Structure 1
Amino acid sequence: MPLSPVPSLLTALTAPDGADRPDAVTVAGRSCSYEELLGAAGAVAARVAGAPAFAVRATATLETVAAVVGGLLAGVPVVPVPPDAGPAEQNHILGDSGAALLPVDFAERAGWSGPEPGPKEAALILYTSGTTGPPKGVVVSRGAIAADLDALAGAWEWTAEDTLVHGLPLFHVHGLVLGVLGALRTGSRLVHTGRPTPQAYAAAGGSLYFGVPTVWSRVVRDPAAARALTGARLLVSGSAPLPAPVFRDLETLTGQRPVERYGMTETLITISTRAAGDRRPGSVGLPLPGVETRLVDEDGGPVPSDGATVGELQIRSGTLFDGYLGRTEATAASYTADGWFRTGDMAMAEPDGMHRIVGRASTDLIKSGGYRIGAGEVENALLDHPAVREAAVVGAPHEDLGQEIVAFVVADGVSEAELMDFVAGHLSVHKRPRKVRFLDELPRNAMGKPQKGRLPPV
């Protein structure tokens, strides 16, 4: 059977050694060549051609990879549905997108010869977590994905010589766009471990690894697994800030500093440290080529790049989304009058342009006694204490200060007063918690991010 024409977004699928390389793509222990992947994707394309969109239950399987590539072949947007979505969430996603769930059989094969869609056509509709209401569909174009992957390939020196290893969910930008489409664009071999366990990462023999902070914290708690990664070229962390102690432990155990980067579903990845550049704990690096950033105060005025002043991060880039599906007002509200996307994240910039993310404006900017304090800065200070394993910091109403700093921690053998004094000794005194609450664990989502809205009442 002749191969289907390769989407321009995934040009590496035509690599001369990929068509018959039996382990070009491995997911949860099952492998295939590019030829097999294109044959299965061609069968998907033939089934969905002409549809406005289709949905796939985004399990960590070759079937999910074939579905996404099939959508790109046919020019039909793919809606990845979290496999653990409850009935209400799934029904909302399907109803809002108008997409039907497509069952995929990887053994099916078909050729495909439809026209190649243009770069402005939608590739994916990714649903946000819905922290301020029902999840919204984020429409991401083929051109935005290509621009982002090319910028990251340059920043990370990512080539067909790499073997990419990760075990991240395939319904987010990190696991799907970077972790699958990135490999298929650069031509690097892909090993998806099914689950991102330290043992699976250690056994995979990769040169490039993707993980979220929860993954890396588990890796450093398994020194043997961590030391098995010493042969890797690059360890990349994203989706949430990497605690400074985990950064340092990775360096000690693997011999290299991890690369951190920043992005959102709406922006893809826009800021990153470089493979050949400076990598500092807590820093997500410099804007990628083609990306502009600025920090503004509450009145929209500029914030100085002094490494201390907090402002809202705003972005202009060719990687931005095309809008929220069916929500023109919400799309318009996400931009400033002069065309910058409002990320809702608070950040600081160093004089050399390196960026530090300190949290969400809605939950992580604390205004206490006239000071503007980023929760992430206090969390990192708490995590530097050897007894503290997890930390989440919030602002609670206070009749005198406006807000007081409250810390929720997972820790053993340390008192509230000791942690207050510890933070005061590391940061300015006004940044110390006024209250510390001890928990058995922090509530987290599928990507390992703490869910502050689910913390107990203060």
Structure 2
Amino acid sequence: MAGRYPDRPDAVRVGPDQTSWEGLLGAATAVANRIAGAPSVAVHAQPSLRTVVAVVAGLLAGVPVVPVPPDAGPMERDHLLSDSAASLLLAADPPPGPLPVPVLPVDLDARSATRYPTPDGAATAMILYTSGTTGAPKGALLSRDAIAADLDALADAWDWTAEDTLAHGLPLYHVHGLVLGVLGALRTGSRLVHTGKPTPAAYAAAGASLYFGVPTVWSRICQDPAAARELAGARLLVSGSAPLPAPVFERLLELTGHRPVERYGMTETLITVSARAGGPTWPGAVGTPVAGVSTRLADERGEPVPADGQSIGELQVRGATLFAGYLNLPEATAASHTADGWFRTGDVATVDADGVHRIVGRSSTDLIKSGGYRVGAGEVENALLAHPGVREAAVIGVPHADLGQEIVAYVVAGAGDVSPGELIDFVASQLAVHKRPRTVHLVESLPRNAMGKVQKKQLAR
């Protein structure tokens, strides 16, 4: 960072605030002096420059950083603080109400020239919390080496260099927005513009060469053609955190001239699979494993699934980017791995003969077993989205006495009238008849989380 790349006064900009590499290092070192020796520190991860300073401070001091979502309720927030044994909460505007730990404000104007030795690469850099299907969120332990390996692999895959300017407006408490979107810029030396909120106008004004977004962001940009066309001068558009619907892919191509690069990953593995800059890209394909990562598909019995582009199996991964385990949960850590050491992602996918991966969805919600067939929800969703009257679609399996599971779709209509029967017939004309939804619900909106992922368990309820 500072000293490694040519400095500039706006090297890092988050919302209205900006700083040089040297200023970021000085401010972060001043915070590091106050937290050095702590078992871990939490960061109230608002979209602000203070959050970036606080995270860098933890990395400098060798203190594990625990990002806390700014909208977390008291129960979730207190669990993260207590489970991680965080001794402080670094915050500019602390959340309301009583807190179980002291709050340490982050001063953007403070400076220190202290130099800290580089911590051991196997040491925990971050504890990122991820929710499972049951119980409280689990803390995934991410080492410095794992983060560095992933960022270097992505820099290679995306031709990401210090000549780039990265722009995004993603939350600073997830892998996408924080690890890729902040630490990736710091490691490559690229200028960072965090737009605060990921609005089309903010992306259009950023003037970047590299943009990160999730499908919801890209969909909204496509709905603002003037803003979308401002991205034509970029070098690369990257989409992740959920599959990018084919109509959004095609609309981005039409408006910007770019074929978006899609990638796949999760908190426990970081980004393991990606399409490449300058390589072939097409809707729904997340590419091949990045450097240092291996993947395989397995069926319910643990048997290998052929790489034929059609057969569905659970995606399993291993490699340099994986987490070190769940904090204080050895049984959960063991259960997340196969007997021979591969991490079980819980996602189902196909892999073709060239090694290109397509993510079907979560095995718990997106692998539907209906009438003896295995159907991927994502394939049915893409078929629905190809209908001009459909704006959004989510597909789930619902228990059925005869079929085992019935394919049910929830659809947000676009312009014009569309009927459930019309959509059922449309899918049957596009896919095998057994993949058609038996029931279609027309809804005003789909429940989504902060990263734009549809919350299918809410639909199932």
TM bucket by the smaller chain?
over 0.9
Structure 2 counterpart of 1:15, one-letter code: R
Q: Does 1:14 align with 2:18?
A: no
- Residue in 2 that maps onto 1:6: none
Indicate which of 443, 447, 454 corresponds to 2:451.
Answer: 447
Give the 5 Å matches for 1:54-453.
54-99=41-86, 100-102=88-90, 103-412=105-414, 413-453=417-457
**Is the CA contact (8 Å cut-off) linking 2:448 and 2:454 kept in structure 1?**
yes
Secondary structure, counterpart of 2:140 in structure 1:
strand
Q: Which ranges in structure 1 are unaligned for 5 or more consecutive residues?
A: 1-11
Alpha-carbon shift at residue 290 of structure 1 (Å): 1.2
CA distance in 1, matches of 2:401, 2:168: 47
**Is the CA contact (8 Å cut-off) linking 1:13 and 1:184 kept in structure 2?**
no
Secondary structure, counterpart of 2:398 in structure 1:
strand
Distance 1:317 1:424, change over 3 A: same
Alpha-carbon shift at residue 247 of structure 1 (Å): 0.3
- Residue in 1 that maps onto 2:30: 43
Structure 2 counterpart of 1:111, one-letter code: A
**Is the CA contact (8 Å cut-off) linking 2:168 and 2:193 kept in structure 1?**
yes
CA RMSD of aligned residues (A): 0.9
Alpha-carbon shift at residue 130 of structure 1 (Å): 4.1
Alpha-carbon shift at residue 13 of structure 1 (Å): 3.1
CA distance in 2, matches of 1:167, 1:30: 14
Distance 1:388 1:136, change over 3 A: same
Secondary structure, counterpart of 1:171 in structure 2:
coil
CA distance in 1, matches of 2:193, 2:26: 20
Distance 1:16 1:450, change over 3 A: closer
CA distance in 2, matches of 1:221, 1:139: 39
**Is the CA contact (8 Å cut-off) linking 2:37 and 2:63 kept in structure 1?**
yes
Indicate which of 48, 52, 60 corresponds to 2:39.
Answer: 52
CA distance in 2, matches of 1:222, 1:46: 46
Alpha-carbon shift at residue 456 of structure 1 (Å): 6.2
CA distance in 2, matches of 1:402, 1:315: 30
**% of aligned pairs identical?**
71
CA distance in 2, matches of 1:411, 1:14: 53
Structure 2 counterpart of 1:450, one-letter code: V
Superposed CA offset, 1:38-71 (max 9, x none)? 1110111111100110001001111110111111
Superposed CA offset, 1:264-287 (max 9, x none)? 000000000000211011100001
Secondary structure, counterpart of 1:324 in structure 2:
coil
Distance 1:108 1:130, change over 3 A: farther
Alpha-carbon shift at residue 122 of structure 1 (Å): 0.7
**Is the CA contact (8 Å cut-off) linking 1:283 and 1:356 kept in structure 2?**
yes
Structure 2 counterpart of 1:63, one-letter code: R
**Is the CA contact (8 Å cut-off) linking 1:73 and 1:112 kept in structure 2?**
no
Superposed CA offset, 1:204-233 (max 9, x none)? 100000000000000011100111000000
CA distance in 1, matches of 2:134, 2:394: 19
- Structure 1 stretch 121-130 or stretch 227-236: which is displaced more? 121-130
Alpha-carbon shift at residue 351 of structure 1 (Å): 1.4
Runs of 4+ aligned residues of structure 1 deviating over 4 Å after TM superposition are none
CA distance in 1, matches of 2:367, 2:361: 7
- Provide the aligned length of Structure 1 versus Structure 2: 444
Secondary structure, counterpart of 2:344 in structure 1:
strand
- Structure 1 stretch 54-63 or stretch 101-110: which is displaced more? 101-110
Alpha-carbon shift at residue 455 of structure 1 (Å): 1.7
Superposed CA offset, 1:240-279 (max 9, x none)? 0000000000001101100000000000000000002110
State the TM-score, normalized to the length of structure 2.
Answer: 0.95
CA distance in 2, matches of 1:110, 1:322: 32
**Is the CA contact (8 Å cut-off) linking 2:314 and 2:363 kept in structure 1?**
yes
CA distance in 1, matches of 2:133, 2:112: 41
State the TM-score, normalized to the length of structure 1.
Answer: 0.96
CA distance in 1, matches of 2:361, 2:147: 25
Alpha-carbon shift at residue 33 of structure 1 (Å): 0.3
Secondary structure, counterpart of 1:230 in structure 2:
helix
Superposed CA offset, 1:159-178 (max 9, x none)? 00000000000000000000
CA distance in 2, matches of 1:32, 1:211: 23
